[in-house]
Structures are given as C-alpha cells and as structure tokens.
Structure 1
Amino acid sequence: MTRWLQWFHRWLGLILGLQVLIWLITGLYFSVMGNQAMSGHTHFEPLPNESLAGLEWSSNIGDLSRRFDDIQQVEWQQVLQIPQLKVVTADNTYYLDGRSGKPWQTDRALATDIAKASYSGAGTIDEVVEVDARFQVLFDDPVSTEVLIGKADGAVQGHRNWNWYIADWMFRLHFMDYSGGRDFNNLLIRASGLVTLWFAIAGLILLLRNVKRGDLWRPQTLLHQLQHKQHPVASGCGGGGTCGLCKVKYTADIPAVSSADNQLLSPDEIADGIRLSCQQRKLPDSGLRDIELLDVNARAWQLEIESEQQITPTLKHIVFLRPPNFTFNPGQFLQFQIATRAGAVLRNYSLANRSDDNQLSVLVRRIENGIGSEFMHSLRAGDRVDVIGPLGDFQLRSENQRNGYSVFIGGGAGIAPIRSQVLSLLSSQDPAQVVLFYGARCEQELAFQAEFERLAKDHRLRYIPVLSESLSASGDFLTGWVHSEALKYIENVGVDKVDVYLCGPPAMLNQTLNGLRELGVPAERVRYDDFGI
C-alpha cells in the first residue's frame, strides 16, 4: 500500500505541478497583455447610432400580434440606415426588414459594408467567407483582423485577430476548459479538484508514516551513508524503496524485515540476512564491518569510448576500452555519473558484451529531453566518462538445467543484458539449449539482428524475433507479442526443463512474469531485470 501511495503521490505531484506552471504562465500572459489586446478589438469601431427619423418603414409589417405569438418586446432599430424590426417572443427572436416586412437577410455585400463600418484599421478586405450562420470578413492588416457578421440580424458579433486566438488558448489552458467555453466550473476542473484532494490525502498519510517512523529527525539511511563514504551501492529510485537494487548483507545484528524488503526480496535473500539499505538507518554495533556489499567487484572507473554507432533508429551502441582488472558477470550494469547544473545524476545502463571480451559496451535508447539519453547520445570516440560498477544481481544461474533449455526473452533496449548472457553462455561449456525471443515494434528496431541470425545458422542458438507491428514484418518473423510466443514455447517444452531470463519494458515484463506464474514455472528458475522501475 505504501509503495502504491508513493508512486501515486510522485506522479500526481508531477501532473499537478505542470498545471500550476501553466496557471503561472497564462496568468502572467493575461497581466502583460491586458484585456483590450486579448479582446481582439484592436481595430474595433462601434457602428454609428443614428436616428430612426427619416427612415422609410413599410406598411406591410402589419399587425405583429397576428404574425407572432406571445410577443414580449418590439424594438425599432437601424443597420447602416436600413430599418430593422426586432420582435422578441417567449420562444424566439425575429428580425424583420423594415422596408418590406419580410425576414431580415444579410447578404455578402451588406456584411462587407457592416464590417468596413466597424473597422478602424488601415487594412483592406482580403476575403469574405460564409461560415454557418455568419460571415467572416478578413482584413489584411498586421494582426489579421476578422470581423464576424451575423446573417440573421446583421449585427457585429465580434472582432478577432491573432491576439484573440492566442488569448483564447491561454484561457482554455487556464480554465482547463478545452471546449472554448471558458467555464471555470467544467467537468475536468472539478475532477482535478477531487484528484488534488486525493493528492493531499496521500501526502498526509505519507507524512504521518514518516512522523511515526521518525524519518523527519532520524539520521540518513544506510544507503545514503554508504554512498557518502563512496561505497558503490546501486539505486534506481533514490532511496524510495521501490527499485530493490540497494541490497546489502548483514552478518550480525540483522534488522527486522521492512514492508519493502518483503515485497522486493526473495524469502531466501531475507533468510540470508539481505536487506534493502534504503530501509535501514541503524548500523550494527560494529559499524560497517558487519555489512557486506553484494557487488564486491564494484568500484569507480573512468572509461574511454572506442566507438559509437546508431544501430537502430532509436538505439545507440557505445563501445568502451576495457580497463585492466575489470571483471563482471553477464547481466550486470554500470552506473554512469552525469554532470548537470543541479549536480551529478546517476543513470544505469546494462553491459551488452560477452564477459571475456576486450571491450565493454552498452545500449542507449534515444529519449527526447532525457538527461541520461541526451548525454550518452552526445558522446564520441575518445570521450571519457565516470562510472561505478559492475552492479546488479541479474546473472546466469550457476545451476542451469542440464540438458534443458535456457530461454531468454528481451524487448527493446532490454536486449543489452540478454545479449551479454546469451553470448557468454554460448561460449561456455554449458550444455543447455539456448533459445532467444526478441520483441520489437518493427524490423528496423531489432538490434544485433545479423549477429543473432549468424549464431542461429551455426545451430548454436535458436533465435525467434517477434514484431508487434504486423505491417512492418518481412521475411521469417512472427508477429504479435513476444511474451505470448515465449510462453507458448515454454509450455510446449515443459516448465520443469527451463531456466528463464527476461528484460524489457515494464508492461512486457509484468505480462511475462504473470504468465510464467500461471504456467507453474518455479520462481527460483526465473530471473529478470526491470531497470529498477
């Protein structure tokens, strides 16, 4: 429940924060522009209110009480010296031409004359457009003035220009009324009020929990203490207790199990004294001596880029020179330190190469305005980057099924650690049959396609690419969802004969894990990397 509240509060806060920013921007716009500029009346000139005397009224108007039922009001008026009669009944309003007694009609020529009379600018008429029940008379002045003339009454319904259209969208954003009605009590804003109430309630619950736990005055978590002392501990959520990466092992004074430990750690890990360091504040009596870091080979490195290549429209493959004495297990990742104006930020990228290669490599997906993505995609050969690693426990099982199947399921950029594991397993003496399911949106998004096809032709790998967009498929590709094809395969060969490794987008990961549970694949035979999400 707490994890859900944290997730809910974090994302809802972001959405509400964006709306507050919109209110600030639109409110500032209203203050700077002023009502006159936003009204569109830059060149508005009221029609002359001339006397009705001297106008020729037709005798055909007759007895109005016979023509209209339940008359409420009658007004005698003029439009550019043309007599007009306005008759208001209980149900409608009628306009009559005072010269003939017939219903009023505004033609294109009259609409043009009315528009000219209400316009004080220097522009000339560019076009007259008939739209539904009115004419739009367009002037070719710098602000693109439009004069709206009603057909039924010849009235000037308004002036519009670029300032008016910009202001109209500002009002839509400010009132959250995208129908253009400028209704501050619309359904969306009322729903937003209820959502904001839930945001406040969730924040209050989290605050009370923190007060109860003493988080407002207690010392930093073990995660922050370790990072402050430059001990390499991975984290994907900044200590929020949602990613499950910051594992440490207590050898003495083992603390109680937190709710986050129960949700993110296996029973074997908990029994072995493993805890999430972000959930612990009290150190053992012996200090850090009785706490073991699980990533024993992790430390700070500076890597030099050997080459970089855009291998799909969205994925870049970056290759680094491998430092001496750098060792890692297939499936582990590096934590890149990225300098920003607000300070250093950390981004995790899985190693994509075989464990005994002379180089190191990662895959980076292009994400517009993403801090890590933009930085990594800007790197060129010869550049140097600071990293910490290797980190992570998404590794090959030492007790892989003998004469069984090692099934790998990758999606998108999640193919990086999968590739490392597949290549390393194929180069080992493990007799398991290696099967790789790789899901992508289209054929162009399949990374390392030629390499996997070559390994498949050598009968060292069974390679099954699956494309989610059927229209993009050409050749021998399955279409659909990669997890569906993989689950059918696992069910066919037998759930007791497989070790499963998977990495990919959260939706694919969740559906695959749910399917494996339904099939009855033992949890200890399933390993996955969810990027700490």
Structure 2
Amino acid sequence: MENLVPKARQIEFHRLKLAKKQELTKNTFSLEFEIPSELASQYDFEAGQYITLKFESEGKIIQKDFSMTSAPFEKVITLGIKINSEESFANTLFQNLKVGDEVEVSEPRGRFTLIAKPHEFRTIVAFAGGIGITPILSHLKNILRTEHRTRLFLFYGNRTKKEVAFKQELEELVQKYPDRLEIHYFYSQEKVGNGLFEGRLDAKKVALIINQILQLDDTDEESTIWDAVDAVLICGKGEMIKSIANACYHHGILKKNIHFELFEEFNEDIYPIEKEFPLINDISVDFKLFNNEYSTTLKDNKIKLLQQLLIQKFPVPYSCKSGICGSCECILEEGEVELLENEYLTTKEEASGRILACMSVVLSKKIKVNFDLN
C-alpha cells in the first residue's frame, strides 16, 4: 500500500533506525527498521498492515504509507517499495537513506487483515500484482507459521521475470512448506511458453485458474480446491482488484470473504451499485475537518459525499475512493446516508455512526459529519 493523504486524526510517529536496505529489482527495494524494546508494544502489528514514513525532501515534509512485508513474529518493520520515477518519493528514499539513519515511522495500522484460525482446516487464495505482493507476503509468512492446517495458493502477476520482487523469499517459503504453499507466476509482457501464465491477472485468468489449477481436491475427491476456498486476498492496482474481486464473487465467494488492498488511488466502486436511491436536491452539509467548521450545499445526491466535497475543493482526506483505505472515515452526527460496499468499517463501527464519505449516498436534506473523529 502506498497512499498519499493521512486521515484527519493524529498519527503517532517514532524515530526508528534503518537496519537494512536492499535492492530487489531494477525498480524495487526493501527497507528494514529496528524496533527498540521500549517501543515494542507500540509496534505490535497484524499481518497485512502498513506504516507511514515521514521524510524531509527539498525542505518539504512528505508522508507516505507503505505496506509491511514482515510478519509479526519477526519483530521488525520491513517494507517493499517501488520506484516509479526519478522524481518520486520512493527514489528519494532509495538515494538518500543509509543504514544507521533514523526515520520517523508511524505506528502500524490498516485492516487488510484476517482473523487467525489455527485450529481449522482452511484454504486461502491470494492474488498480487507487482509491488502489491508486500502485504500478501506478510500474510503468507504469518499464516504458514501460525496455522499449521491452512494451505495457501498465490497467483502473482508482473510484467517480466526480472521484475518479480521478493522472488527468493517466496521460493524459500515454498521449499519450507511444500505441502501448504503453491505459487504461480504470471507475466504480462513476457512469453513463457504457456498461455495460461501470459497476460494480466484479471477475471478471465481467474476462470482459467479455477478450471485448470484449482481443480480436484486431494483432501475431498467429490469437490474442487476452489469449492474449499475460505478467503481471498487481493492487492494491486484498482482495475486488477475490481476485475478479480468481481470474478471471485461471481464464482461463488461471498463478498465478506474477499479482502483487498490498493496501493494507489482508485476512483471507482469495486462492486457494481445494485440499488437505486430517491433523488434529493439542495442538501445542506456541515462538517468538521482539521478542527475547522465548514458548511456547504450539495446540488443533489447523484454523486457520493466525498466526491462532491472534493469537487468543491474542500481538503477532505482520501486515497482510494473505493471504501478500502478508510482515509475518509467520519462520524455521521446528523441526517441519513446509505453506506455502500466497504472493506474497512466493522459492523460495530457502522452501528456507532461511523461512515466512509467515499461510499456514502446522502438520503436527507441536511447532514452533519465529523472527520476529526471526536
């Protein structure tokens, strides 16, 4: 995950020492930070979570989020980072950070997580695109170590073989857990002699994977491996997530069992909106943001709340616009909204009045929300 805008609420940072820096491919590298004993409790984390790095560059303070590749039992913070251009924040980190430097690192957060079930027989399927492997790798290491009855299948897409990040670490996991982990690599810009593994990971590939790889189950001769899937993990670009998530859903996986994480902005809904809403015009909106009070009027409710506030140039925090990252989380203090699909809020949080502005359709003439979550 690599997001640009933090939530309105305060993020806690601590200075951590860089213990290791390693170039992985031509445009990806890893950073490993030590966790001092006095900060151990603040840096307890779950597989799949992320941290924010705060770094000064050319007189400006930049904050960006990066998913961790480390598993909780490793007691370090390890990141996988892709360099998209010479002017990028990632390249600034790569060129300037040296082992021994101290960097401001936020406490871990994020909800691309799974509930541990060490006593159950589970089948988990993961799809990763490019540097989207980072939180998936954290999950693989954690599950293989803590859930001895869980088997995992990873489908990992890259443009070419040379661009596969963490290939050695993944292969070492396969060697260590050959009966529980199976990995298949896909290449969108390289021929490998088998059409199944050429091209992007998308809905069509999911259908082929189900029919050609996740076939007869050795543990149950009357069903397929796909029939036994308990959870799906997806991390990559928005279009990839949208295509694969919908394919998994249409092939029988419940939406609540399909978990995904974006590593860039995405402005579309992951699942189609299947409900029509009554038209409401001239909606009055009051909201609190960064300890400031704002008031505005929405023309109607044809566009979701966050998108309308952004159109009006309000500095509302966001990243994905798809109900995944939680950056636009706020409290509904007055009025009514319909919260569409979201991958972030729990049922308990929804019941307490928390909403995601990017997934909220306004259903009353007036609403009041608090982005400061207090």
Alignment gaps of 5+ in structure 1: 1-233, 240-245, 247-276, 279-292
Counterpart in the other structure of 1:323: 36
Match of 2:168 in 1: 450
Matched residue type, 1:503: C
What does 1:19-418 align with in structure 2 at a 5 Å threshold? Answer: 236=3, 238=5, 246=7, 299-324=12-37, 325=40, 326-341=43-58, 343-378=60-95, 379-398=97-116, 402-418=120-136
Q: Does 1:478 align with 2:197?
A: yes
1:437–1:463 contact (8 Å) kept in structure 2: yes
Among 502, 505, 508, the alignment partner of 2:240 is 508
Q: 1:431 corresponds to which residue?
A: 149
Q: CA deviation at 1:299?
A: 3.2
Checking the alignment, whether the CA contact within 8 Å between 1:467 and 1:477 is kept in structure 2 is no
- Whether 2:172 is the aligned partner of 1:468: answer no
Distance 1:419 1:341, change over 3 A: same
Over the aligned positions, Cα root-mean-square deviation in angstroms equals 2.9
Quote the Cα distance in structure 1 between the aligned partners of 2:20 and 2:210. Answer: 38
> Kindly tell me: are residues 415 and 235 of structure 1, through their superposed partners in 2, closer, same or farther at Cα, counting changes over 3 Å?
closer
Which whole-Å CA distance do the structure 1 matches of 2:232 and 2:254 have between them? Answer: 10
Inter-CA distance 449–486: structure 2 relative to 1 (3 Å threshold):
farther
What one-letter code is carried by the residue in structure 2 that aligns with 1:481?
A: R
Partner of 1:498: 230
Following superposition, the deviation at residue 477 of structure 1 comes to 8.8
Q: Secondary structure at the match of 2:70?
A: coil
Q: 1:469 to 1:360 in 2, by over 3 A?
A: same
1:375 deviation in Å? 2.2
2:138 match: secondary structure? helix
Q: 1:386 to 1:476 in 2, by over 3 A?
A: farther
> Which amino acid counterpart does residue 339 of structure 1 have in structure 2?
E
Q: Is contact 1:408–1:418 with CA below 8 Å preserved after alignment?
A: yes
Q: Equivalent pairs: percent with the same residue? A: 20
Contact 2:128 2:157 in 1 (8 A): yes
State the partner residue of 1:3.
none
Q: Pick the structure with more strand per residue.
A: 2
Report the count of equivalent residues. Answer: 245
Q: 2:349 matched to which residue of 1?
A: none
Question: Residue 442 of structure 1: CA displacement?
Answer: 0.6
Q: What is the rounded CA distance, in whole Å, between the counterparts of 1:455 and 1:475 in structure 2?
A: 24
**CA offsets 1:207-243 (integer angstroms, 9 cap, x no match):** xxxxxxxxxxxxxxxxxxxxxxxxxxx994647xxxx
Name the structure with the higher helix share: 1
Q: Which amino acid aligns with 1:300?
A: F
Contact 1:319 1:360 in 2 (8 A): yes
Asked whether the 8 Å contact 2:2–2:64 carries over to 1, the reply is: no
Distance in 1, matches of 2:23 and 2:227, equals: 38
Alpha-carbon separation, structure 1, partners of 2:169 and 2:93: 24
TM-score normalized with structure 1 length: 0.42
Contact 1:401/1:497 (<8 A) preserved? no
Give the residue type in structure 2 aligned to 1:494.
W
Question: Which of the pair has the greater relative contact order for Cα pairs under 8 Å at 6+ separation?
Answer: 2
> What does the per-residue CA deviation read over 1:107-157, in whole Å, with 9 as the maximum and x for residues that have no partner?
xxxxxxxxxxxxxxxxxxxxxxxxxxxxxxxxxxxxxxxxxxxxxxxxxxx
Q: 1 CA distance for matches of 2:18 and 2:129?
A: 26
Q: Is the Cα contact below 8 Å between 2:155 and 2:183 reproduced in 1?
A: yes
Mapped to 2, the partners of 1:453 and 1:397 lie a distance apart of 25
Kindly provide the CA deviation profile for residues 68-99 of structure 1, in whole angstroms up to 9, marking residues without a partner as x: xxxxxxxxxxxxxxxxxxxxxxxxxxxxxxxx
Q: 1:411 to 1:382 in 2, by over 3 A?
A: same
Preserved CA contact (<8 Å) 1:401 1:498? no
Q: Which amino acid aligns with 1:426?
A: L
How far apart, in 2, do the equivalents of 1:496 and 1:314 lie?
37
* Structure possessing the higher radius of gyration over alpha carbons: 1
Check conservation: 2:120, 2:150, Cα contact below 8 A: yes
CA distance in 2, matches of 1:452, 1:507: 25
User: CA 1:529–1:343 in structure 2 vs 1: closer, same or farther (change >3 Å)?
Assistant: same
